[in-house]
Copies of this chain bind each other. A is one copy, B any other.
Amino acid sequence: MKVGTAALTVDAAGMRAQNSSLLLNMIWRERQISRAEIARRTELSPSTVSAIVADLEHSGLVRSIGAGVSRGGRRPTLIGFRDDAFNIIGVELGATHVTVVLTDLRGRVRTTRNSPQQVRNDPEGTLKAVRALVQECLDAERVPKRSVVGMGVAVPSPVHPSAPGKMSPLILPAWRGYDVQDALRGTFDMPVFVDNDANLGALSECYWGAGVGGEDLTYIKLATGIGSGHIIHGDVYRGAGGTAGEIGHIAVDSAGPPCLCGLRGCLVTLIGSGALVERARELMGSKGRKAPTIREIVEGARAGDPAARTIIDGLGQYLGIAVAGLLNLLNPAIVVLGGEISSVGDLLLDPLRASVRKRALSTSMAETRIVTSALGDKAIAVGAATLVLQAALRSRALFPPQHVGRTPA
């Protein structure tokens, strides 16, 4: 196996691999398409298309699914992608929980497990929990390991491109010396991909959410921390040092409160879950001194509670400052808001858009849609699985070889 420099040279086999992946992608995207149509679109010869399709069919990735409508002659046989040919494992390491999903090749969750876990301070226990949950998922669906393409892991830390398994010592000091990638690859003997949680949320949205069909998207995760991820030309963008997307520490109020990072007025100190909850306790004054949860704020806002509305308004206004900068600098096609609080929808989007409009060029705004996520709470874990899917669709070799396709129920 060739390692490292990845010289992009092509020989006869590489030619086949490239065309093969191209076809595989097209079939995956279109869900069903005839050989003739593929030949027309790719400008490959019909004979070549047939040969490659036969290959893919033999490896279980695609199959014939009946005839299509005639265009005046013989009816085409449609080729469909076998979403169930393989499985993928997605893992989310949150601040206080671990979530594992087992998905098919269309991002559908077959099984999921999660457990509370103090990820920040307990690397050993976290890894143990992940191992157990993954095994549970595999057992629950009777999935043999050879039908698993690989494992994606979302971590709550920036990820350096050159050592994706290692956490940032500044964010997660307890993880010094651990390498998530190595550890899990060692246990399960399959490819392991690691990336930052917000990046994977972005990927999730790009594949399954608001960004479907697009190639440039920014996702903002509103939770304990405020993170963002960029998809650029269909790929996660990590920046030179892997810390692209640290939107939470943009200074939006120079007179604001001090932040853990050592700066002052960071976005996260104003609109992180902690700040929102704290403000809710002041304003909503619910039942003495117990601070309401984010969920309660969401419900309050929906029910028309003025205090909750005020909190959401403030969130939108502050966030707008950062988003406006984002639009001017990056001009993404879509900005997607995720995290529990985003479920208030327009109640957040309206003040946010107003705030952005006051600060961003109208041309930047014109090209950008700002929406809230419609994916559920497993978006990040599914995004982790999607990272594997993306890689496998690009180089077919990642799919385990000679897999005899399971016949679905």
Residues of A within 8 A of B (CB): 2, 5, 7-12, 14-15, 18-19, 22, 41-44, 158, 168, 170, 214, 216, 228, 230, 232, 237-247, 249-251, 261-264, 321-322, 324-326, 328-333, 358-364, 366-368
Distance in angstroms between the alpha carbons of A237 and B19 in the assembled complex: 27
User: CB within 8 A of A7: which of B22, B170, B321, B360?
Assistant: B22
Of A15, A238, A324, the most chain B CB neighbours within 10 A belong to A15
- Asked whether B240 lies within 8 Å of A332 as measured between CB atoms, the reply is yes
Which residues of chain B are near A322, meaning CB under 8 Å? 325
- Asked whether B364 lies within 8 Å of A246 as measured between CB atoms, the reply is yes
Of all A-B residue pairs in the complex, the 7 with the closest CB atoms, nearest first, are A239-B331, A241-B367, A240-B333, A244-B331, A246-B328, A251-B359, A243-B331
- Apart from A216-B239, A232-B232, A263-B360, list 11 A-B contacts with CB within 8 A: A9-B22, A9-B43, A9-B44, A238-B331, A240-B332, A241-B364, A243-B331, A246-B328, A249-B361, A263-B359, A329-B329
Copies of the polypeptide in the assembly: 2
Q: How far is the CB of A105 from chain B (nearest CB, A)?
A: 22
Q: How far is the CB of A310 from chain B (nearest CB, A)?
A: 20
Which residues of chain B are near A8, meaning CB under 8 Å? 18, 22
Chain B: CB-nearest residue to A244: B331
- Asked whether A329 lies within 8 Å of B328 as measured between CB atoms, the reply is no
Known A168-B363, A364-B246: A7·B328 in contact at CB below 8 Å: no
Of A42, A244, A321, A367, the most chain B CB neighbours within 10 A belong to A244
User: CB within 8 A of A170: which of B10, B214, B262, B363?
Assistant: B363
Which residues of chain B are near A325, meaning CB under 8 Å? 250, 322, 325, 329
Q: How far is the CB of A201 from chain B (nearest CB, A)?
A: 16
Q: How far is the CB of A10 from chain B (nearest CB, A)?
A: 5
Known A2-B43, A43-B2, A328-B246: A240·B368 in contact at CB below 8 Å: yes
User: CB within 8 A of A41: which of B7, B232, B243?
Assistant: B7
Which residues of chain B are near A246, meaning CB under 8 Å? 328-329, 331, 361, 363-364
Which residues of chain B are near A41, meaning CB under 8 Å? 5, 7
Distance in angstroms between the alpha carbons of A313 and B8 in the assembled complex: 47
Which residues of chain B are near A249, meaning CB under 8 Å? 328, 360-361
Chain B: CB-nearest residue to A7: B42
Which residues of chain B are near A44, meaning CB under 8 Å? 9
- Asked whether A324 lies within 8 Å of B251 as measured between CB atoms, the reply is yes
- Asked whether A329 lies within 8 Å of B247 as measured between CB atoms, the reply is yes
Which residues of chain B are near A240, meaning CB under 8 Å? 214, 216, 331-333, 367-368
Which residues of chain B are near A263, meaning CB under 8 Å? 358-361
Which residues of chain B are near A12, meaning CB under 8 Å? 15
Known A5-B41, A239-B331, A321-B251: A262·B10 in contact at CB below 8 Å: no
Which residues of chain B are near A368, meaning CB under 8 Å? 240-241
User: CB within 8 A of A10: which of B10, B238, B250?
Assistant: B10
15 A-B residue contacts at CB 8 Å?
A8-B22, A9-B18, A10-B10, A239-B331, A240-B367, A246-B364, A249-B360, A250-B328, A250-B329, A250-B359, A261-B362, A263-B361, A326-B329, A329-B329, A329-B330
Which residues of chain B are near A329, meaning CB under 8 Å? 228, 244-247, 250, 325-326, 329-330
- Asked whether B239 lies within 8 Å of A332 as measured between CB atoms, the reply is yes
Distance in angstroms between the alpha carbons of A364 and B18 in the assembled complex: 36
Distance in angstroms between the alpha carbons of A55 and B158 in the assembled complex: 46
Q: How far is the CB of A39 from chain B (nearest CB, A)?
A: 10
Of A5, A11, A240, A250, the most chain B CB neighbours within 10 A belong to A240
Known A19-B9, A44-B9: A158·B363 in contact at CB below 8 Å: yes
Which residues of chain B are near A331, meaning CB under 8 Å? 238-246
Distance in angstroms between the alpha carbons of A5 and B26 in the assembled complex: 13
Of A18, A249, A329, A359, the most chain B CB neighbours within 10 A belong to A329
